[in-house]
Amino acid sequence: MREMTRLANAHGAVNVSQGFPDVPAPEAVKQTACDAIQPDIN
């Protein structure tokens, strides 16, 4: 995980490789993710 933190810092990115959310994802976020997955376009 240190490598991902280093890379995120180097590129000004948000590091989402550590931790787990302790709240449910908003319904709109979950639905948007499902909508993006359904067409099977990779």
pLDDT single digits (tens) 1-41? 688 889 999 999 988 877 777 889 999 999 999 999 999 98
pLDDT at residue number 36:
95
The residue type at 14: V
Model pLDDT, residue 30: 95
Whether the pLDDT of residue 42 is over 90: the answer is no
Go through the chain and tell me how many residues it has: 42
Quick check: pTM over 0.75? Answer: no
